[in-house]
Structure 1
Amino acid sequence: MVAKVGYFVVSALLVGYLALAGHRAVLLIREGTWVTLTLGVAVLALPLIGGWFLWRSFRFVLHANRLGRELDAAGGLPVDDLPRTPSGRIDQAAADAAFAERRAEVEARPEDWRCWFRLAIAYHDARDTPRARRAMEHAIALHAGRTPRAPRRRGRAEPESA
């Protein structure tokens, strides 16, 4: 719950900043000189890019949460029983072992979005956030019936998609 509140507070601050930057850009463009017009167009790019980024992130969170609820209702979420350090972080060796199981599961059934969802959780537990996001995007695409992008190969092995 704290994470959701934090997300919405930061998002609201970002929307406010983007609105202010957009307003300043419009004022610069209205001034009409070649300098202010050029600067106004450049400043207008910030709210457009920021808005696009915020929208993409928001959609990702909505889709991932929906898949999580669906998988939880079916009893398919992995049990959070990995050992933790005294600070609360998941033990790296245990996370790597769980990751190996999830990777084997995905290699056996690469077309199953549930396997990719669980792999995303395993990546997250192993502190590999970029690959966790890509695996979750893959699960979202499979669930929606779209052809997912091929995963990139670097470092920790990722399963091949079918």
Structure 2
Amino acid sequence: MFVAVMAALLALYLVLVAQLAIRLILVDEPVAKGLGIALFVLPVVGAWALVVEVVFGFRSERLGRMLAAEGELPLAGLPRLPSGRVERTAAEAVFGRYRDEAEAAPGRWESWYRLGIAYDACGDRRRARGAIRQAIALERGSGERRP
């Protein structure tokens, strides 16, 4: 729900910036036209980034639901903080298992997805996103589609 609200607010902002850019482009001043053109780039880049992130979110959630249906989600039995996040020390203690699994089966999206979840629990968001992107690419390339 929060993501939908934030995406809607960003979309509204991008529309307002695009309108301002168009108004500046229509002014007969060269500086205003230049600012309008430069300002028009922001909504285009912002819309692209929004679409990329929403698509990533939907695809990664779909993979998570597929693993959950098979009872193969990682870190399920680890202790959690009151916020619901896995305790970092517990995640770091089992991280090697998921790293080794991904190295042993580099063509399986399931192992990359679990590695991404483990990276995230250990606090490495950049590598977590990379591993989950790899899982998405592998699953999409396999031609295998599960409900």
Partner amino acid, structure 2, of 1:41: I
Identity across the alignment (%): 44
Matches within 5 A, 1:70-81: 70-81=66-77
Residue from 79, 89, 98 that aligns with 1:83 = 79
Greater displacement, 93-102 / 69-78 = 69-78
Q: Which amino acid counterpart does residue 140 of structure 2 have in structure 1?
A: A
- 2:36 paired residue among 33, 37, 40: 40
The normalised TM-score by structure 2 is 0.89
Q: TM-score normalised to the size of structure 1?
A: 0.82
Aligned CA distance change for structure 1 residues 34 and 86 (closer, same or farther; 3 Å): closer
Paired amino acid for 2:47: G
Q: Which residue of 2 aligns with 1:61?
A: 57
CA drift of 1:128 comes to: 1.0
Q: Which amino acid aligns with 2:2?
A: G
Which structure is higher in RCO with an 8 Å CA cutoff and minimum separation 6?
A: 2
1:136-155, Cα deviation, whole Å (9 max, x unpaired): 00000111118xxxxxxxxx
Number of aligned residue pairs? 142
* CA drift at 1:98: 1.8
CA RMSD of superposed structures (Å)? 1.6
How far is 1:134 from its partner? 0.6
Unaligned runs of 5+ in 2: 143-147
- Structure 1 pair 79–125 and aligned structure 2 pair: CA distance change class (3 A): closer
Q: Please give the alpha-carbon distance, in whole angstroms, between the structure 2 residues aligned to 1:47 and 1:95.
A: 39
Give me the whole-angstrom Cα distance separating, in 2, the residues matched to 1:40 and 1:9: 28
Q: 1:20 to 1:74 in 2, by over 3 A?
A: same
1:70-149 matches, within 5 Å, as 70-85=66-81, 89-145=85-141
| C-alpha distance in structure 2 between counterparts of 1:70 and 1:84, whole Å | 23
Q: Deviations over 1:84-135 (max 9, x none)?
A: 3466543322111221110011111011000000001101111111111110
Higher helix fraction (1 or 2) = 2
Aligned-partner residue type, residue 17 of structure 2: A
Distance 1:36 1:120 in 2: 46
